[in-house]
Amino acid sequence: MSRKIWEACFLTMLLTLGIADAAQAKDRHGDLPLSTSWSVFSLGDKARAESGLATKRLAVLTLEPDDGWHTYAHVPGGFGKPTTLAASFGAARLPVLYPAGVPSADPLDPGARVNLYPGGTPLFALLPDAAAKGGRLVGTLDLLLCTSDKCLPAHMDLSYTVPARGTLADGALAEASAQPWWPQLLAAAKTSPARVAQAAQSAPNQPNATGAGEAKATAGTAAISPSAPGQGWANLTPRYHQPDLEVRGLFKAVLLGLLAGFILNFMPCVLPVISIKLSALMAGSALVDAKERRARFCEHNMCFALGILAYFFILGAILGATGLAWGQIFQKPAVVLGLAALIFALALSLFGVFSLPIVDLKFDQMTTHPKLQALFTGLLATLLATPCSGPFLGGVLGWTLLQPPWVISSVLVAVGTGMALPYLIMVLFPGLVRLFPKPGAWTGHLEKLVGLLLMATCIYLLSILPESRLISALAVLWLTAVAAWLWGVGGPGFDAVRNALPKAVAAVGLGLALFVAMRPHVPVTHLDAYAEGSLKGMLGKETVVVDFTADWCPSCKVLEQTTLTPARLGDMKTKYGLKYMKADLTEKNPEAEALLAALGSQSIPLLAIFPKNDPDRPLVLRDLFTPAQFEDALKQTTRP
């Protein structure tokens, strides 16, 4: 289809349906439970006079969290992370106006009051006059997505093509003052410097003349400078309920760090690692000779404590070099998934599926690498406890993480020393080993109990992952079990082919599975949910593709991974001017089932293409089909 025909079709669709924007871009963002969409609106003379804004065009970014999710407002209140948008058009930075949030009890702390963006929320970017010629709007969005029990920080790069005046008459743009969010924009504009003079109207290479970042944030509204988010908080002077516990120097940080680290051993959030810590307490239980038991007990606890200290030393170096926050490593799905696979493998080893060459948590046999095992278990136990916080630690970290790297490392090693203190005490008093029972049949039962606790830790780690990664995570755990079994089949050592081959297959297979599961998810092309009224309203106005699918349909999932990939759907949408709809039959869907029957089918997968020029004769693709067949069908249905 030629460019002119496409533009004409597009304009007809807009004028007929009364859509606000010529190219509303609604997108998902990988794993995130969030959709965003851009729209452009016009501000007439009356609207500009009422709002005090100089702009004639307004770009609106709408945030739509999934059901059960919310974000914090730009002025969040409490301890929420502010939602911020930094946008520019060409070289001009755009002032951004934020609506006030909805005052609510904090879902994570019902005793606190915060301002939330619970549903579809508009953020307003003021466009310069140059936008009338069209061009590219780019921006970055930072926010915190939360449910009632967990949060997910997000950073997104956004882009949008603003239509030129020549391709879309101003009359086709919806008037901003007619939109339901107009009162929110008026409230935001009244507290914004953009009311006096729009910063984006200044010369492109000059900084914003209005100093957008100087706006006073009141009632949740503000205009900020994208180049310096957070400048509006420079005048805050926080007061603390327990000022004596706040840290202002290294000596106090080290002392409180020692105490905080020691208390961490007794916090509820270390429960996921209690099974690993049992290995330190039960070290040497398989030895009958009392002297040997004390020596092994002392050696194991010393190496376990060194593992704790080594982890905090490494963590201090990483935090000092990268500026990450405490526990922020668990924001990386790849790290969480890798840890889950490792913990699951350790659990399988306790059930006798296989034996790891270095780490063996069994109590009834002697490991060949006792010191390395103790060091590793100390490292692992501390890594899993990193998201944990406790008394005194908040004030210590609040001061420490703003200091030079050597100070960060010193304080974190002090925290590690406090956490290792119980094990160091057992090193100094190895006679404590007599308090633990001697070996017997009970150790076998204890191993199985520890294995079950480790599997419970895997469930905890899986709960951290985004829902979109749960299936791939479960697949990785299944492949971990297969790899563990193959490793066990190979027996000890790597001397013969029969020993080495199964282990090589296990290692390569598990490595490939982790690589595939840890790949960043490609942002998906948005498919609107099928509704009979929506489809009938679009027939004859644009070419509509309806994809019938379900989560219980394996062939549908194969099709989504091979032919209907996000990248291909996006390319085909741009190339042929398509509108996608998804008829989800995972649960009972009478409207979709009626359309499926009308198309002469009782099974899925099925794809129906309703041509713009002949909507009563849809082209149907049944079962599995190739990318070439898909594009050939599109060519047939979009041919003039």
Q: Which residues contact 484 (CB under 8 A, 6 or more apart)?
A: 345, 348, 349, 353, 354, 506
Length in residues, the chain: 640
What is the predicted pLDDT for the residue at 124? 92
Q: What is the pLDDT of residues 338-391, one digit of tens each?
A: 888 888 888 887 787 877 655 555 554 555 667 777 888 788 777 776 656 666
Residues of the chain with CATH 3.40.30.10: 528-638
DSSP designation for 194: G
What is the predicted pLDDT for the residue at 79? 60
| Tokens of residue 582, six digits | 């998804």
DSSP designation for 525: B
Q: What is the pLDDT of residues 213-247, one digit of tens each?
A: 333 333 333 333 333 344 444 445 555 555 555 55
Rounded Cα distance, 418 and 423, in Å: 10
| Tokens of residue 90, six digits | 């060409």
Pick out the chain residues at pLDDT < 50: 1-25, 169-170, 193-235, 364
Class for domain 528-638, per CATH? alpha beta
3-state helix, strand, coil in the chain (%, to 5): 50, 15, 35
What is the predicted pLDDT for the residue at 485? 82
What is the predicted pLDDT for the residue at 552? 77
What is the predicted pLDDT for the residue at 530? 87
What is the predicted pLDDT for the residue at 610? 92
For residue 572, give the 3-state DSSP assignment. Answer: helix
Name the residue among 193, 203, 201, 198 with its Cα closest to residue 231: 193
Model pTM greater than 0.85?
no
User: Which amino acid, 32?
Assistant: L
| Tokens of residue 210, six digits | 């209005």
Tell me if the bond preceding 554 is cis, omega within 30° of 0. Answer: no
Q: How far is CA 582 from the centre of its chain?
A: 24
What is the predicted pLDDT for the residue at 545? 92
